[in-house]
Homo-oligomer: A and B are copies of this chain.
Amino acid sequence: MTDLEWIAADWGTTNVRAWAMSKDGDILAEATSADGMGTLAPDGFEDAFARLTADWTLADRCPVLICGMAGARQGWTEAPYAAVPTAPDVTPPTPVDTRSNRWKVRILPGLSQQTPPDVMRGEETQIAGFLTLHPQFDGTLILPGSHTKWVQVSAGEIVSFQTAMTGEIYAALSGHTVLRHSVGCDIDPDAFAEAVSDGLSRPEALAARAFQLRADDLLHGLDPARATGRLSGLLVGAELAHARPYWLGMQTALIGASKLSQTYASALESQGVTPVIERGDACTLAGLRAAFARWKD
């Protein structure tokens, strides 16, 4: 690994992923750990980073460029948000004070929006990467996750965005309410599709429909995959209703090829919308590469 020029990292809430990058932009090695931001105090990040990259041979002051929750207030060092509207590469990364001289760490800014108030950390780098892969894209990017982002992109700028915490709401309802007795892991696609339509047209029914799942199980032994499909579909349907200005008549792209992304793709397709799909890690790496090239010095 004498070729190692810099390290790219995506530091999320629950885990961290780093890539050893060559001068030519190739990936020499990759490392992941469960040392997410949520598990670390600010003074624990440097040790976690040292553990993560212990097998790699670094020259002194090796450049490290990080995106994600490491830049949150309770992260390694707070990297202030850039405000939308903005191009992805306008705000420089924030330098991090480190004890060791082995690395020169910087963290990329997240994005914020004043009205309605909204924030993201990490997704802005995927968006930047997507735009290096699709420079002419004009429309809506959808980044599914616990906190799904709907992002309006035009002329190379991030114009506005909207977060729906549907994924986290689903996890809270299926894990921490009486519904935990009735839902499972698999999703029945027909039940999901019906519920998307129901959630789109009757979003106000959520609290009643959710209890109906439980009652249907008690009275009729509802199949867990149908219960799961219904709960998920109701929530995604309501999210689609609220996000309508982001997808109706718009060019759309989904970032991420996870099961969750497929769920969103299938819900959008039921409304006649067929998004382009791009891999999430490809976007993250493209975004980190572009930021490294932009802020090299």
Interface residues in chain A, defined as those with a beta carbon under 8 Å from any beta carbon in chain B: 73, 81, 112-114, 116-119, 147, 162-166, 168-169, 171-173, 175-178, 200, 202-208, 210-212, 214-216, 218-220, 235, 238-239, 241-243
Contacts and interface: CB of A to CB of B under 8 A. Distances in A.
B242 A208 contact: yes
Please state the number of chain copies in the assembly: 2
Complex A-B, nearest 9 residue pairs according to Cβ-Cβ distance, in ascending order: A203-B204, A204-B241, A164-B207, A172-B172, A117-B215, A117-B216, A163-B211, A204-B242, A166-B207
B205 A242 contact: yes
A206 B210 CA distance: 15
A87 to B, nearest CB: 21
Given A204-B238, A219-B119, A211 B164 contact: yes
A238 to B, nearest CB: 5
Contacts of A238: 203-204, 206-207
Binding site of A, secondary structure by majority: helix, strand, loop or mixed? helix
Nearest to A168: B177
A62 to B, nearest CB: 32
Contacts of A177: 165, 168-169, 171-172
Contacts of A203: 203-204, 206, 238
Contacts of A164: 207-208, 211
Contacts of A218: 73, 119
Contacts of A168: 177-178
Given A177-B168, A178-B168, A163 B208 contact: yes
Contact of A117 (B163, B165, B212): B212
A215 B169 contact: no
Contacts of A176: 171-172, 175-176
B207 A178 contact: no
Nearest to A201: B204
Contact of A215 (B118, B208, B214): B118
Nearest to A241: B204
Contacts of A214: 165
A73 B173 CA distance: 22
A165 B211 contact: yes
